[in-house]
Amino acid sequence: VRVSPEEVTIYNHPGIQAELRIREGSGYFFLNTSTADVVKVAYQEARGVAMVHPLLPGSSTIMIHDLCLVFPAPAKAVVYVSDIQELYIRVVDKVEIGKTVKAYVRVLDLHKKPFLAKYFPFMDLKLRAASPIITLVALDEALDNYTITFLIRGVAIGQTSLTASVTNKAGQRINSAPQQIEVFPPFRLMPRKVTLLIGATMQVTSEGGPQPQSNILFSISNESVALVSAAGLVQGLAIGNGTVSGLVQAVDAETGKVVIISQDLVQVEVLLLRAVRIRAPIMRMRTGTQMPIYVTGITNHQNPFSFGNAVPGLTFHWSVTKRDVLDLRGRHHEASIRLPSQYNFAMNVLGRVKGRTGLRVVVKAVDPTSGQLYGLARELSDEIQVQVFEKLQLLNPEIEAEQILMSPNSYIKLQTNRDGAASLSYRVLDGPEKVPVVHVDEKGFLASGSMIGTSTIEVIAQEPFGANQTIIVAVKVSPVSYLRVSMSPVLHTQNKEALVAVPLGMTVTFTVHFHDNSGDVFHAHSSVLNFATNRDDFVQIGKGPTNNTCVVRTVSVGLTLLRVWDAEHPGLSDFMPLPVLQAISPELSGAMVVGDVLCLATVLTSLEGLSGTWSSSANSILHIDPKTGVAVARAVGSVTVYYEVAGHLRTYKETAG
């Protein structure tokens, strides 16, 4: 006689019974148990089944004796009766919003063995979330005979916890340990398309995904076209197309296996420049106004991010046919930085006097054989015509006629020199037949609507001594035509010599100015700005004190490209180079030796031409005279040398000894 199964664990509940199937033998059996109080056994002869009912927790051996056959020993089955000890949840702790993951729940007995899933209805097993950012649905599919599966869907971003619970025989609820789970925003790689020249580099970054950001595993479909580093830096190798994949992974707590929780793809195109174009936002500008220009290829994707840092590189040479009409200035000119030609893919032009002039750029390949220009050309060029016209002025009487320039849906708080001293009132003077394009309240908040046009406002100051003063001001509401970026602070040097890059360790501020179609600067705008770099390892970029500023700290030597654009109007954009170099000399070919004397120097000074202060991160290793910069190596180690002009700038250099 044989019995199956030979071992079984059953839940201690009056509604549960287990079946032992008895096969072979004569059909006439006698059953007994090793213990009398753990289980009750009843043999159903017609079915050949022994029904086992649990009584108390414990174990019992059921022995089946064949009454007609002589056997040395009966068939045996061991039955374990157990109460619930604990619950176990297995789930990947991250899910993307709108996506699903599966959670697996088991109920363990006193010996940490799982109960059969068919007992779960008697336990009233539930899986609940602490907050409604996820939904839970029990699935019919079975991972195995001991597990129930739930489908979890992320419906709102945030963090919550999962808790499984059951009711035991005594009616008490037993809860599992809470299992944390995060619903994260969609994981997306940026930019959606990477367009590169051979030898150029751009970093693929991500937005969304789990927080804190997990490591992203990058790969590329065609390694002959481009390479991608672990940090997402894509470098063009040969003309062609490919796909960069980014995977976010997590570890399954039970199996230890790595699972993919989110992924995204971006397209990569490596090309050569067939032609270049001068990107100028307007062709007619007023005298005294400024306009940014930069070089592009023949499509919008072929912008300075595509070719601005190519190796071997390109050089950019600008000229005007009438020098007295337009003044060509390099980017960061206002900060006393004069960039070399390889960084001059972007320039500024200043309208000087009225007239019409040609503006020309010649783009030259440092190494024509590198295949960066079409047909292995040595250079490409483009030319546009720019007209500069005079500003309208009143000559008789000779007075300044100024206006407030606002973009649609913007506002500005008007301020006067009599605020707090006189009683001020404001009103719009437009007649009843004209719909005003602006509104002003009693506190001087001037707001524009969606319409463009002009209005007139009146500002009256009632003096405490009885006199009244009135100002009539025109307000023009106009769309923004372009934006321009300026850098601060101004860098002062010995002998007024210009720097060729931003000093390492400096913090600079970029301010965005908005212009209309004549070049005039807006006093108020409603633009939402975005700032981005082509890579994140040379500079750190952050928000500035106002909406139209960003703060950049230089942290490593190299070239970074900066892009700024209006989020709602992508055509309003600008590009500029951010080269970073050491500002402290000399350059050391090797490590210093204890006892060496080093004369540190820099051309950076204060506004008054005074030198700054030198310091060392570890005087015990390298002692520096704070005034002269003479340094003496005292011990072995690495040290950082600082040069600071108080309240203005700070730069550094790392040395080893």
For the stretch 348-395, pLDDT in tens is 999 999 999 999 999 999 999 998 999 999 999 999 999 999 999 999
CA-wise closest residue to 355 among 378, 325, 382: 325
The pTM of this model reads: 0.81
Asked if the model's pLDDT at residue 103 lies above 70, the reply is yes
Asked if the model's pLDDT at residue 72 lies above 70, the reply is no
Binned at pLDDT 50, 70 and 90, residue 164 comes out as very high
Domains of the chain as residue ranges with CATH: 2-82 (2.60.40.1080), 84-184 (2.60.40.10), 188-271 (2.60.40.1080), 277-389 (2.60.40.1080), 408-477 (2.60.40.10), 597-656 (no CATH)
Assess contact for 313 and 306: CB atoms under 8 A.
Answer: no
State how far the Cα of 624 lies from the Cα of 641, in Å rounded to an integer.
8
Q: How many CB atoms lie within 10 A of CB 48?
A: 15
With tokens 């790392």, the residue in question is 654
Looking at 528-654, list the stretches that DSSP marks H as alpha helix, in order from N- to C-terminal side: none
Asked if the model's pLDDT at residue 71 lies above 70, the reply is no
Edge-to-edge strands of the sheet including 346-351?
277-279, 290-296, 346-351, 326-330
Instruction: Indicate the DSSP class of residue 200.
Output: -
State how far the Cα of 79 lies from the Cα of 634, in Å rounded to an integer.
79
123 sits in which H/E element: helix 120-123
The pLDDT value given to residue 152? 96
With tokens 């699935």, the residue in question is 139
State how far the Cα of 583 lies from the Cα of 652, in Å rounded to an integer.
8
Quote the tokens at residue 563: 């892009």
Write out pLDDT tens, residues 165-188: 999 988 899 999 999 999 999 999
With tokens 């489908």, the residue in question is 151
Write out pLDDT tens, residues 569-610: 878 999 999 999 999 999 876 778 898 999 999 999 998 889
Instruction: State CA 473 to chain mean position distance.
Output: 43
Q: How many CB atoms lie within 10 A of CB 297?
A: 22
Binned at pLDDT 50, 70 and 90, residue 117 comes out as very high
Binned at pLDDT 50, 70 and 90, residue 474 comes out as very high
Assess contact for 27 and 100: CB atoms under 8 A.
Answer: no
Mapped onto helix, strand or coil, the DSSP state of residue 334 is helix
Pairing of strands 75-82, 84-91: unpaired
121 sits in which H/E element: helix 120-123
Quote the tokens at residue 611: 């030198």
State how far the Cα of 424 lies from the Cα of 304, in Å rounded to an integer.
50
